[in-house]
Amino acid sequence: MADQFADSANNVVIEEVNKGLNPGMVVLLVVASFLLLFFVGNYALYVYAQKTLPPKKKKPVSKKKLKREKLKQGVSAPGE
């Protein structure tokens, strides 16, 4: 569909309408789709890991810390 109109000097100007995707729009769509795919994939892996991995083990409390805690509470540590 070409639009025709006359300019100020009565010359007929035919304007072609571009019927494709703008290259900037193509880049935007590709980048947006990759970002969306990345976030959806990360979420899926996170959910899978939460279901399958065992819970983290707590670090054992050192004897030194146990002594310090008991002294703060006023109870003498065993063996002293």
- 3-state class of 2 per DSSP? strand
CB–CB of 16/2 below 8 Å? yes
Amino acid at 13: V
Provide the residue-wise pLDDT of the chain in tens; the chain has 80 residues: 456 666 666 776 666 666 777 889 999 999 999 999 999 999 999 999 999 988 778 888 788 888 888 888 875 556 65
Q: Are 77 and 70 in contact (CB under 8 A)?
A: yes
Q: What does the domain layout of the chain look like in residue ranges?
A: 7-73
Give residue 1's pLDDT: 47
Residues 3, 15: Cα–Cα separation, whole Å: 5
* Residues β-bridged to residue 16: 2
**Which token pair is 13?**
């100007």
What's residue 15's pLDDT? 66
pTM over cut 0.75: no
